[in-house]
Amino acid sequence: MTVTHNNESGTEAARADENLVTLTIDDVEVSVPEGTLLIRAAELIGVEIPRFCDHPLLAPVGACRQCLVDVPDAGNGRGFPKPQASCTLPVSPGMVVKTQVTSPVADKAQTGILEFLLINHPLDCPMCDKGGECPLQNQAMSHGRGETRFNEVKRTFPKPLAISPQILLDRERCVLCARCTRFSEQIAGDPFIAMAERGALQQVAIYENEPYSSYFSGNTIQICPVGALTSSAYRFRSRPFDLVSTPSVAEHDACGAAIRVDHRRGKVMRRLAGDDPEVNEEWISDKDRFAFAYDRQPDRLTRPLVRDPETGALEPASWPAAFLAAARGLTDAARTAGVGVLTGGRLTVEDAYAYSKLARTVLGTNDIDFRARPHSDEEAAFLAHAVAGSGLGVTYRDLEHAAKVVLVGLEPEDEAATIFLRLRKAWRQNGTQVVALASHATRALEKVGGQLIRTVPGDEAKALGEAGLDAGTIVLLGERVARVEGAFTSALTAATARGARLAWVPRRAGDRGAVEAGCLPNLLPGGRPVGDAEARADLAAAWGVGSVPGGVGRSGDAILAAALTGEIGGLLVAGVEVDDLADPQAAIDAIEAAGFVVSLEVRASAVTERADVVLPVAAPAEKAGSFLTWEGRPRRFGAVFSPPHALSDTRVLAGIAEAAGHDLGFRTAEAAAAELAELGAWDGARAPRPEVLPGRAPRTGPSEVVLDTWRRLIDDGRGQDGDQHYQATARPSVVLLSAATARATGVRAGDEVILRTDRGAVAVPVDLADIADGVVWTPANSNGLSLLGILGATYGDVVTIERSTTDSRADALSGPPHPHQTPAPDEGVELDATTAPGDSAAPTDTDLARPAEEQL
Amino acid sequence: MSVAPLTPVLTRGWDHERAWTLDAYGEYAALRTALQTEPDALIETVKASGLRGRGGAGFPTGMKWSFIPQDPSKPGGDKPHYLVVNADESEPGTCKDIPLMMASPHTLVEGVAITCHAIRAKKAFIYVRGEVLHVIRRLQAAVEEAYEAGFLGADVFGSGIDLDVVVHAGAGAYICGEETALLDSLEGRRGQPRLRPPFPAVAGLYAAPTVINNVESIASVPCIVENGPDWFGSMGTEKSKGMTLYSLSGHVKRPGQYEAPLGITLRELLDLSGGMREGSELKFWTPGGSSTPLLTAEHLDVPLDYEGVAGAGSMLGTKALQVFDQTTSVVRCVLRWTEFYKHESCGKCTPCREGTWWLVQTLERLEAGKGQDGDIELLLDQCDNILGRAFCALGDGATSPITSAIEHFRDEFEAGMHTPAWDLFPYEASTAWRKGASA
């Protein structure tokens, strides 16, 4: 296939140029692109041929034989003597096709296949999760016989079988279409389920006791055309016809995957993948699918809280009282020492804009930063220069057709799952070459056919020179690049020189939107540089204020440092976990030291505990808004439902502004979006590019190693609380060492090592890997071990390593045994209720296989 | 009574002392000739001989070879070529390849070597049915002997041509006799048929151009090279040339392999085999294994070549002539075959997988005399919904015995509505140890 670097319209135009083939289906002449399969050509004339194994995103297989049609003329004057599977037969010029609509032969063939499919299918539709949305049920109604002729013995199996802690298999319902196994092999690259046995006893199976361990396993449930695959989380929880569906956007990463949220009586019951060919096609990660119960945990904040000056305790307050308290405290602080604003990375564009505007107009400061994670000034400069206000840049489609994609500080499967799937597709279909600058090749890199340029964390800026960038290359820069001195600068320099394209792939859903909204000390909304007087004047005029503050503000870390020393008197904090920050202990100290703290949060946190005013806000499902994907693509979504206690951040900030005697100019996401749109992107001079000399990986002494780490897709993030089955699918924690490092430390695979800093120590089991010597990799926040929280260490830091002994272990924290091995505690929420009565074979941990070994 | 002539070519040395050894077989003279011949000329020779595939379908062997892309610029032309010999003989009643490999493995190995040269393959695989361990061992020994004698390996006969042969044991699945399922199995996957196109000639084993031939087809190649296409064409009929192995089994006096020109009749073969067993009358028979529609005594004079049997409404198939006498219940016999297909269905496609499951249950009812009104129509309709709807030919084959049995012996199925088959045809009467049996 031709490698194109066109935008979407270019690709569409290329498609229109494809050769069209004209054929006749059911006496209707239709022209379709060469290579189109009959089953899809028929759809274009409005004929839906029934099918089970066919899926447009999977390779044709022709297994179920449901889509048989009659082909009296193959285009060469000769017909096929037998009915043909329309899902495997491409069109040819002059072909004549008769579907069930016009051919009694095709109709009988289809009815016959459907009858065969039903003979071994149980009649448990009334209790099956799929009942009401089941392709088999639907097609049995539209193409089946009214009465069965089968009175004999059906095939049965013990049920259900847990093929993973989350995925359950009812084999007797399976029609053996192999969609799930083909998805796992072709799309996800995790071929850990396969067909076993033969004849009617053929079944989907896992290998011995190895569970179906895939970050994308939930997609198999959705594409299963019967109720054979169900999730522990949803099984027997509701019926499709009781659910209200709302299209939405996943909030767990910056990929913007389309999802469908199904709720019933004010509670989300499940989430499904939406269909968006430009973004996630029809696939989502298990995190996007299953991690939705976090907003109904017992620590959910439901009422405003104000600290009682006498008792010092947080007491419930009315909204007006809370607004007033927040407004007074913040304006007082702003008048004296100033207020710092930390917005986290999870806000919608509209909410981020509200913080940005409030900071500049009410609090009169540029001390605002969305980066609730280790960050650098170079990164802020890069964002201002290359990202903010640049609109839609590199897209998923561009990735799919790129000649080469270079990954820097980004592990796509863990940190941007939708990108991972698209890279795998790009490699499989277009031969895209993926190159990673990393300490080791992850399994994800293998699954995209990628190559490794072995790089010690910190050396990326130099290594970029070896990556062979050219005009067909796209460089993806992950959030860890902020930890590498000079890497943004080098990437910009190299890309400009060679004509490669760059894209910044943040990890959180709100990150790109926050950049556009101006939640950075050096950026105003729409990419206006703070340092540009013209841009400030433009903004002030648009906002109808005399001026906006000039002078670059403090970064997130600097805000906290200033709060600790009293240079800043107040903090306005939105959705920040202190353990995500570069120095969690310093952050706690700073928040405690700050004179006045306002926290807008969904659930209680270390910040809310220390806040003077706590304002509960809506979770994404409870508000409308939009995220920007890493591409810069707006992803609007509506509220799934609106609990009375849940106001959006925008509404809350408008209330505070009003109580402070200001008018924010909007109270709703719609109005905020309209204002931001009207403001538009800055068309003046761009902020200058960062100029930072390439750094080097830190030098290590004896018993010291450089830490390589990132957050796994499924880990201890609070946004994933509330589904023990989902959490049990997390990969077990390990430390990856090279053989040389292991020798030097005196450990072997399976032993335990202690990683230590002056803050603390963690004990983690060892696995050997082909990783750079002197580097260890371990997950950043898995199995109860937050590296930043415990060690204060993150990507590129130096930690000491020692063999675990009784003595060395004494002060080290270790995670609990992996949930595969011990039952997760029953948290008492409804999600944990057992499966339906009579379903004695609900998955228990004894059914479950021991965890798949770390595959790195 | 005139006895039709046998034409022992493949079976010529079967009765020799230690016929399976290279000493008994002799030098690979045909291979020596072939290696001095241009590959394309060899293909032309085989085309001219009229040799057709002996695995059942009867596709012209030379034409199959010529489908291999030889032009490196064409799709597949730049890849290595492979020869795969289908020795997964599993069709009920079929027993020709296994005796051939047992008695004269070098005939096959020499044929493999010649074919490799013709199709420009350096490597061949012989995929042998896993259950026949003794045959696998004998074949392995023969290949080893051939390597030692320099008939295989590097620079065969100083021709500069390298030939490698791998004997691969299957794991016991009927479906692996289907050529694309065989390829999957050979590659180490589950044996299930592949979607075509691409055809094996373009993308077969390891996605490279591959010729897949039956054992007997390949074993017939050396004699054609040695004696020429005219000699081969002097045997057989106009469109079905040459000699072939007919395997007689069942209620005949001397069951076994009979090598005769294509076009011989069952009547002649029965004469050669001493006729039906004592007291037996021919009731029905299969011309080429259980997947070929069964025939009756009225078909005794049908010429057993591709066209003749097709004209009688059946198929020549593997020339496995299973002969049944008047003591045999058709219903029982058909049920046993159907149970085989149910057991061997690979499960990939719906009609074969589910259809055979259902057919067995319907037939069991009829065998037990508990048939219900409409069961015969039901069987025919099930078969109609399987035939031509399945992914591969296994599904079609499963319907042949049922529809043909109902066509010829409908009354026995009707009797299944009220009388068990074992009452109508006491099962012991069909056995060799029945009362009054001469054996």
Check B353 against A66: CB less than 8 A apart.
Answer: no
Q: In the beta sheet, which residues pair with residue B321?
A: B248
State whether residue A492 is helix, strand or coil. Answer: helix
| Domain end call among B325, B353, B376 | B325
Give the CATH number of the domain where residue B139 resides.
Answer: 3.40.50.11540
Q: Which amino acid is at B76?
A: G
Report yes or no on B10 lying in a domain: no
Distance from C-alpha of B394 to C-alpha of B387, rounded to nearest angstrom: 10
Q: Which amino acid is at B229?
A: P
- pLDDT tens over chain B, length 439 residues: 445 689 999 999 999 999 999 999 999 999 999 999 999 999 999 999 999 999 988 999 999 999 998 777 776 678 999 999 999 999 999 999 999 999 999 999 999 999 999 999 999 999 999 999 999 999 999 999 999 999 999 999 999 999 999 999 999 899 999 999 999 999 999 999 999 999 999 999 999 999 999 999 999 999 999 999 999 999 999 999 999 999 999 999 999 999 999 999 999 999 999 999 999 999 999 999 999 999 999 999 999 999 999 999 999 999 999 999 999 999 999 999 999 999 999 999 999 999 999 999 999 999 999 999 999 999 999 999 999 999 999 999 999 999 999 999 999 999 999 999 999 999 999 888 776 655 4
- CB-based contact B215:B247 (threshold 8 Å): no
Give the CATH number of the domain where residue B342 resides.
Answer: 1.20.1440.230
Residues in chain A: 856
Task: Please indicate, yes or no, whether residues B148 and B39 belong to a single structural domain of this protein.
Answer: yes
Question: Which of A569, A509, A518 is closest to A329 using CA atoms?
Answer: A569
Chain B residues inside the 8 Å CB shell of A202: 346-348, 353
> What is the rounded average pLDDT for all residues in chain B?
95
Q: In angstroms, what separates the C-alpha of A204 from chain B's closest C-alpha?
A: 11
Q: Tokens standing for A179?
A: 């969609």
Report yes or no on B420 lying in a domain: yes
Contact of B68 with chain A, judged by CB distance below 8 Å, is answered with no
Contact of B175 with chain A, judged by CB distance below 8 Å, is answered with yes
For A156, A176, A841, A842, B249, the CA distances from A159, given in Å and listed in that order, are 9, 16, 6, 9, 45
Residue in B closest to A119 by C-alpha: B354
Q: Which amino acid is at A280?
A: N
Q: Which of A61, A81, A119 sits opposite B357 (nearest CB)?
A: A119
Q: In angstroms, what separates the C-alpha of B95 from chain A's closest C-alpha?
A: 25
Residue in A closest to B173 by C-alpha: A198
For A589-620, write each residue's pLDDT tens digit. 999 999 999 999 999 999 999 999 999 999 99
Chain B residues inside the 8 Å CB shell of A62: 195, 349, 391
Report yes or no on B251 lying in a domain: yes
Instruction: Name the strand (E) or helix (H) holding A739.
Output: helix A739-745
Q: Is B172 exposed, middle or buried (CB count within 10 Å of its CB: 0-12, 13-18, 19+)?
A: middle
Report yes or no on B408 lying in a domain: yes
Q: Is A158 exposed, middle or buried (CB count within 10 Å of its CB: 0-12, 13-18, 19+)?
A: exposed
Check A198 against B354: CB less than 8 A apart.
Answer: no
Task: Please indicate, yes or no, whether residues B271 and B225 belong to a single structural domain of this protein.
Answer: no
Chain B residues inside the 8 Å CB shell of A197: 347
Task: Please indicate, yes or no, whether residues B347 and B382 belong to a single structural domain of this protein.
Answer: yes
Give the domains, in start order, of chain A with CATH numbers: 20-118 (3.10.20.740), 317-373+512-679 (3.40.50.740), 384-506 (3.40.228.10), 704-821 (2.40.40.20)
Task: Please indicate, yes or no, whether residues B30 and B116 belong to a single structural domain of this protein.
Answer: yes
For B203-250, write each residue's pLDDT tens digit. 999 999 999 999 999 999 999 999 999 999 999 999 999 999 999 999
Task: Please indicate, yes or no, whether residues B319 and B336 belong to a single structural domain of this protein.
Answer: no
Report yes or no on B433 lying in a domain: no
Q: Tokens standing for A496?
A: 């400009």
Chain B residues inside the 8 Å CB shell of A140: none
Distance from C-alpha of A516 to C-alpha of A664, rounded to nearest angstrom: 18
Report yes or no on B210 lying in a domain: yes
Instruction: Name the strand (E) or helix (H) holding B169.
Output: strand B164-169
Task: Please indicate, yes or no, whether residues B317 and B334 belong to a single structural domain of this protein.
Answer: no
Residue in B closest to A178 by C-alpha: B348
Residue in B closest to A196 by C-alpha: B190
Give the best residue of A116, A153, A207 to mutate against chain B (max B CB count within 10 A): A116
Phi/psi for B250 (5° steps) reads 100, -145
Instruction: Name the strand (E) or helix (H) holding A803.
Output: strand A798-803
Task: Please indicate, yes or no, whether residues B357 and B290 belong to a single structural domain of this protein.
Answer: no
Task: Please indicate, yes or no, whether residues B116 and B203 belong to a single structural domain of this protein.
Answer: yes
With tokens 């140890």, the residue in question is B433
- CB-based contact A249:A259 (threshold 8 Å): yes
Chain B residues inside the 8 Å CB shell of A150: 358
Domain boundaries, position B105: 22-233
Q: Which of B190, B342, B378 sits opposite A199 (nearest CB)?
A: B342
Check B389 against A152: CB less than 8 A apart.
Answer: no
How does B173-199 read in b/e, with b if 16+ C-beta sit within 10 Å? bbbbbbbbbbbbbbeeebbbbbeeeee
Task: Please indicate, yes or no, whether residues B42 and B151 belong to a single structural domain of this protein.
Answer: yes
Kind of pairing between the strands at B243-250 and B256-261: antiparallel
| Domain end call among B309, B325, B341 | B325
Question: Which of A90, A288, A56, A289 is closest to A187 using CA atoms?
Answer: A56
Q: In angstroms, what separates the C-alpha of B239 from chain A's closest C-alpha?
A: 23
Q: Which of A62, A152, A197 sits opposite B361 (nearest CB)?
A: A152
Q: In angstroms, what separates the C-alpha of A120 from chain B's closest C-alpha?
A: 7
Give the CATH number of the domain where residue B247 resides.
Answer: 3.10.20.600
For A25-45, write each residue's pLDDT tens digit. 999 999 999 999 999 999 999
| Domain end call among B325, B348, B380 | B325
Kind of pairing between the strands at A161-162 and A167-169: antiparallel
Contact of B290 with chain A, judged by CB distance below 8 Å, is answered with no
Contact of B378 with chain A, judged by CB distance below 8 Å, is answered with yes
Report yes or no on B70 lying in a domain: yes
Chain A residues with at least one Cβ partner in B under 8 Å = 60-66, 68, 81-83, 88, 108-109, 112-113, 115-117, 119-120, 149-150, 152-153, 155, 175-176, 194-195, 197-202
Task: Please indicate, yes or no, whether residues B48 and B78 belong to a single structural domain of this protein.
Answer: yes
Q: Tokens standing for B249?
A: 């089994």
Chain B residues inside the 8 Å CB shell of A88: 195
Those residues whose C-beta lies under 8 Å from the C-beta of residue B427, and which sit 6 or more positions away, are B329, B332
Report yes or no on B410 lying in a domain: yes
Task: Please indicate, yes or no, whether residues B224 and B247 belong to a single structural domain of this protein.
Answer: no
Contact of B388 with chain A, judged by CB distance below 8 Å, is answered with yes
- CB-based contact A416:A410 (threshold 8 Å): yes
Check B391 against A63: CB less than 8 A apart.
Answer: yes
Residue in B closest to A150 by C-alpha: B358
> How many domains does chain B fold into?
3
Task: Please indicate, yes or no, whether residues B269 and B311 belong to a single structural domain of this protein.
Answer: yes
Distance from C-alpha of B226 to C-alpha of B246, rounded to nearest angstrom: 23
